Amino acid sequence: MNLAIIGHGKMGRLIEQLAPEYGFAVAQRLNSANNRDAGGITGNNFAGVDVALDFSTGAAGPQRRKIRAALAAEGTV
């Protein structure tokens, strides 16, 4: 199962570290540098992603609709 991790702070890094032990592969990592204004949340970036885990800040809340739309475009949601 392929994961996308949105927010690469302490929790995002921990999930990335533990994922392989549980049979998950991290297909996408988005952080403040490559996801400014939710610009990294695209259908192309989420191609092949089965699950998106959002560990971004509360202020990043509006990007959640965009995440759902990107995953829906891939038939994940």
pLDDT tens column, 22-73:
999 999 999 888 887 777 888 888 888 988 898 876 666 666 667 767 667 6
Is residue 56 within 8 A of residue 31, CB to CB? The reply is no
In this prediction, residue 56 carries a pLDDT of 75
Place of tokens 């702070």: 9
**What per-residue confidence (pLDDT) applies to 61?**
62
> Within a 10 A sphere around the Cβ of 35, how many other Cβ atoms?
20
Beta bridge partners of 54: 6
Kindly report the number of other CB atoms within 10 A of residue 49's CB atom.
20
